[in-house]
Structure 1
Amino acid sequence: MRNNELLPYDTIVQATSGEPEAVNTVLQYYGRRIRYASRISGQADKEAEDFITETLLKALFKFRFSRVSPPDTTE
């Protein structure tokens, strides 16, 4: 379940601004983790999955980059 590739910084910035394609990319990226975390007694629980997704979206739209500096892109 480990994914060593991170979401691009620009995608996250766009998603926090409400860009639908970027939000969809974030949801796809975390979809497998959300489904795994929403299993109860080994069974998929749609309510739990919906709750986790809703919580992620709320946090995404609340996040502000004012206190976070962009990553250094010089290599």
Structure 2
Amino acid sequence: MRNKKLIPFEVIEKAVAGEPKEIDIVLKHYKYLSKYRGHINDDIQEHLKAQLIKAIMQFRFDR
């Protein structure tokens, strides 16, 4: 049984490969979590989104 709080590994693999649909899934997942955890304004939300996209594109599985 999968943990519904985790993003499936296959989605992460495709996001790291640059697949726009999967990147969007990751962004939506973390947007929900950041909004859930506290009061975050739009500027901070956009900054977090940019940092997450940067981290996705730099992530390597072979480390």
TM-score range, shorter-chain basis?
0.7 to 0.9
Identity of aligned residues (%): 31
Which structure shows the higher helix fraction? 2
Does residue 58 (structure 1) correspond to residue 54 (structure 2)? The answer is yes
Decide which structure has the larger Cα Rg and report it: 1
SS at match of 2:46: helix
In the alignment, what sits opposite 1:45?
Answer: 41
Amino acid at match of 2:33: R
Q: Unmatched 5+ residue regions in structure 2?
A: none
Q: Whole-Å Cα distance in 2 between the matches of residues 62 and 24 of structure 1?
A: 16
Count of residues in correspondence between the two structures: 61
Higher strand share: 1
Distance 1:56 1:26, change over 3 A: same
Superposed CA offset, 1:19-68 (max 9, x none): 011001101111112234672xxxx411011001111110111000112x
Higher relative CO (Cα under 8 Å, sequence separation at least 6) belongs to: 2
Unpaired stretches in structure 1, ≥5 consecutive residues:
68-75
